[in-house]
Homo-oligomer: A and B are copies of this chain.
Amino acid sequence: MVNPNTAARPEDTVLPECHIRETGVLPEHLTAFRRQGVLALRGLLDPVELEAVQEAAGSLIDDAWRTRSMTDTIWTQEPDHPDAAPVRIEYVVDKSPVIARLAGHPLLLRVMEALVGPNLIPTWDSMVFKTTAGAPRLSWHRDGEMYADAVGVTGAGRVIDVGVYLDPAPEDNCVWCIPQSNYWDDDRITATAERLNASEWDTTGAIPAVMRPGDVLLHNILTLHGAPAVQGKQRRVVYFEYRPAEVEWQLGPHVPEYVGRKQQVLRSCVEQRAAAHEHRDEEPFDYCPAEPFRHWVGRPDLTTLRFPHEENWRW
C-alpha cells in the first residue's frame, strides 16, 4: 500500500518552472525551488539579448582556441595537445561587456533577491561549454559543501547557481538532478553518488533539466546533479553564483573584504546595463541590501571586475 505521506507527489517528479515574463516570480515558485532544489526560468532572455550573448560567448571561445591560453581557461588536456578542447572560462563578466550587462538583468536579480535575500552578492561567474569536440560525463556531485551543517545553513537554497542557456539542452545533453537531495545528509549523498557513478550513465531518481536557449536554470549548490557524455553538440552556459553577504561575512569561504568588492561588481553591472541603449525601456534592478551590508561605501573605484577566488580565500 502506498503511504500518501511518503509517496512521491506528482510535482516532485517534474522540473518546477516559472514563465517569468508572463507571471513574474510568485511565492509558489520560490517555495518550489526551496523544496525541490531546482527551478527553470523559461524565456528570461529576449531574442535580441540572447543573440548578443551568444555572439559574445562565441568570441570568448574563439579566443581560447586561437590563443590556447590557460589563463582563466580550463582545457580537457594540456592545450598544446591536438585533442585538447577548452571547456570553461572564468571571470566572464570582466571579459565581456555584454556578459557584464547580462549580470545586471533586473528580472534575474529580482528572483535572486527573493531567494538569496536583500544582501545577495555575486560570487562565481564563468562560462561552461561543450564544443563539437565532445565532452565527458559530468559525474553526480554536489557543487560545494564548504559549510559545517551545510543543510541547516543552505539546504533551503540561499547559495544558488544560475545557468543561462545559450544553446538547446535536450534530454541527452542536459543536466539531470535529484529533486529534494538538497536536504540529504552527507552519507546519503555519498552513497547515492557512488551508486549512480558506478555505471556510465544512471539517472535513477533524477529528472532532466531540458532547456531552450534563453532559459535559465537555478540550482541549489547542495542539489545532487550530473550530465551525460556528449559528442558533436555545442552547448554553452553562462553561470553566475549568488550568496547572502551575511553568510559570506560570517562563514566564508572568501575573506570579509570580498563582500564589498563583489557588491561593487554587481553595482557596476547594473549601471552598465542601465546605461545601455538596448535596455533603455527596462526598470533597472534596485540593489538595496540592509545597512550593515553596504560594504561598497568608501571603497576605491573599481579598476577590474575580476576578483580571483584564490586571492580571496579565507582559509
- Residues of A whose CB lies within 8 Å of any CB of B are 3, 5-6, 8-9, 12, 24-27, 30-31, 34-36, 110, 113-114, 117-119, 149, 151-153, 155-156, 158, 180, 182-185, 188, 244, 246-247, 249-251, 288-294, 296-297
* B12 near A291: Cβ-Cβ < 8 Å: yes
Known contacts: A27-B27, A35-B288. The answer to whether A3 contacts B293 by CB under 8 A is: no
CA distance A183 to B5 in the complex (A): 37
* A183 near B153: Cβ-Cβ < 8 Å: no
Most B CB contacts (10 A, CB to CB) among A180, A247, A250, A290 go to A290
Report 23 cross-chain contacts, Cβ distance below 8 Å, ordered by A residue.
A6-B291, A6-B294, A9-B288, A25-B27, A26-B27, A27-B27, A27-B110, A27-B114, A30-B114, A31-B114, A31-B118, A35-B289, A36-B290, A151-B246, A151-B249, A151-B250, A152-B246, A152-B250, A155-B246, A156-B246, A180-B290, A183-B291, A183-B292
CA distance A155 to B117 in the complex (A): 10
Residues of B within 8 A of A9 (CB): 288
What's the minimum C-beta distance from A180 to chain B, rounded to whole angstroms? 4
Closest to A155 in B: B246
* A152 near B249: Cβ-Cβ < 8 Å: yes
Known: A149-B251, A180-B290, A180-B291. 13 other contacts (CB 8 A): A3-B297, A5-B296, A6-B291, A24-B27, A27-B27, A27-B110, A31-B114, A31-B117, A35-B288, A152-B251, A155-B246, A183-B293, A188-B292
